[in-house]
Amino acid sequence: MTTTAPSFRSVFRMGEFRALWLAHVLSVAGDQLVRVALTVLVFNRTASAGWAAGTYALTYLPDLLGGALGGLADRFPRRTVLVVADVVRALLVALMAIPGMPWPIAAGLLVVVQLAAGPFQAARQAVLPDMLGEEKLATGQAILSSTYQAALVIGFGAGAAVVAWLGVSGALWADAVTFAVSAAALRWGLRLYPVAKVAEHVPQWASLKAGCRLVARDRKLRSLLAIACCCGFYVVPEGLAVPVAAQLGGTGVLGWLLVANPVGTLLGALLISRLPRARQVRWLGPLAVASSLVLLPTGWTPALPMVVAVWTVSGMFSAHDLITQVQYSLAAPPEQRGQVIGVAIAALRAAQGLTIAAAGALALAFAPTTVVAIAAVAGAGCAGLAGIAWARAVRADRAVRPRRTPLDGATPPPAP
């Protein structure tokens, strides 16, 4: 049994993964570009910061509905879902780029663009276990997570530069091209990946309910989703970064606060991906607790370097999310993997939105740094309960596993 994780190089040797990675890069770039471009368009047309902020929020809200469309990845070949989603997004963004397009219509098109991201993300995550196998899955997930975090660090600045260089319409045309190139890379770079057992054709709402019931019944899926939703607590600093910056020294320090978590998560993903798989499983609960708990010193209103340091360390611990994603994908039945992942996407967005909204309400009565400390305590408590549930699920799975493996003469793997 391999004791060390496969290297990034060994995963990148796979042509299919390179195609999927390229599509991931282009998708992230496209998402960032359309957010910046349309926000600038709305602000230029309305001169209203409120409308501009509301337009930016539209890029996140559709994920709550997009989770219901994750089941499409269980009905059609997953490459087909990926390609069609990219083609749809390319066409819609091209419509948005037409000069003189009324901004309310462009905002409505943006909602549909983001809805198409739901089945795309579900299909991409569903295809990874089949493409990489259990041995390389964690490394592949770490590459994708690291790419995403690196894009967050540089994405908004690059997006603003592209809009300044090409103008809003030109930037949207460039965005449409990114989705078109992504579709081509997936179409000719991936096998079809049909679903071995196609789910019975049912309405999307019924498919979503079936996915929710499956997650609720399965101990592993249930505990993993609970751990994942604890991210709502340790993203509170992101939601309160502006008032925290004002409390610590003004908007001049905002940039340091905004990049702290993505930089930490990038570093954490690189480190966690090198851990043996059994150790990743064993450390998942403690890492989830630490992601929130380490934010507690923020409440003491220390100097800026201390806040940046603890937020960065929180980001490093929060890279446990790649372990959660890997274990969640492996625990989901292959024929329902897309819908189960869609449920997770919707749940995560809901957890983040509700927690940040609650933090904003608390910030009306308490100092922003105090609210971060409250979120740290609450998040650590919830993560502790979810981690205990995960440990029990692993022990229960370990207890029944030896009964299954001797049938093929294989030696049961050592327990994590």
- Pull the structure tokens for residue 268: 């954490």
When pLDDT is cut at 50, 70 and 90, the band that residue 370 belongs to is very high
Contact criterion met (CB below 8 Å) for 182 and 292:
no
**More confident site: 177 or 195:** 177
- Pull the structure tokens for residue 356: 């940040």
Q: Torsions phi, psi of 7, nearest 5?
A: -80, 160
* Per-residue model confidence (pLDDT) at position 131: 92
pLDDT at 75 over 70: yes
Instruction: Classify burial at 139, counting beta carbons within 10 Å of its beta carbon; exposed 0-12, middle 13-18, buried 19 or more.
Output: buried
**More confident site: 359 or 390:** 390
When pLDDT is cut at 50, 70 and 90, the band that residue 290 belongs to is very high
What's the whole-number average pLDDT of the chain?
A: 81
Q: How far apart are CA 180 and CA 91, in angstroms?
A: 9
pLDDT at 267 over 50: yes
Q: Which of 31-40, 44-53, 79-88, 258-267 has the lowest mean pLDDT?
A: 44-53
Q: How far apart are CA 52 and CA 75, in angstroms?
A: 37
pLDDT at 416 over 50: no
Contact criterion met (CB below 8 Å) for 90 and 379:
no
* Per-residue model confidence (pLDDT) at position 184: 95
pLDDT at 253 over 90: no
As a whole number, mean pLDDT of residues 243-254 equals 75
Q: Which of 21-25, 351-355, 363-367 has the lowest mean pLDDT?
A: 351-355
- Pull the structure tokens for residue 252: 């001049």
When pLDDT is cut at 50, 70 and 90, the band that residue 174 belongs to is confident
* Per-residue model confidence (pLDDT) at position 153: 63
* Per-residue model confidence (pLDDT) at position 1: 43
- Pull the structure tokens for residue 62: 């559709």
Contact criterion met (CB below 8 Å) for 373 and 298:
yes
* Per-residue model confidence (pLDDT) at position 200: 53
* Per-residue model confidence (pLDDT) at position 327: 92
Q: How far apart are CA 352 and CA 358, in angstroms?
A: 10
pLDDT at 52 over 60: no
SS3 category, 180:
helix
Q: How far apart are CA 173 and CA 110, in angstroms?
A: 14
When pLDDT is cut at 50, 70 and 90, the band that residue 415 belongs to is very low
pLDDT at 173 over 70: yes
Q: Which of 232-236, 249-253, 282-286 has the lowest mean pLDDT?
A: 249-253
CA-based torsion, 200, 330, 235, 50: positive or negative: negative
Among the listed residues 318, 280, 289, the one whose alpha carbon sits nearest the alpha carbon of residue 387: 289
SS3 content of the chain, % helix, strand, coil (to 5): 85, 0, 15
* Per-residue model confidence (pLDDT) at position 84: 95
* Per-residue model confidence (pLDDT) at position 234: 92
Contact criterion met (CB below 8 Å) for 33 and 178:
yes
**More confident site: 29 or 215:** 215
* Per-residue model confidence (pLDDT) at position 414: 44
What pLDDT digit, counting tens, does each position of 9-18 carry? 889 999 999 9
- Cα dist from 311 to 143, 148, 201, 231, 300, whole Å: 22, 18, 46, 13, 14
Q: How far apart are CA 371 and CA 223, in angstroms?
A: 26
* Per-residue model confidence (pLDDT) at position 121: 85
CA 116 to mean position of chain CA atoms? 15
Highest mean pLDDT: which of 97-106, 237-246, 401-410?
A: 97-106
* Per-residue model confidence (pLDDT) at position 61: 63
What pLDDT digit, counting tens, does each position of 186-216 carry? 999 999 888 766 555 555 556 667 778 888 8
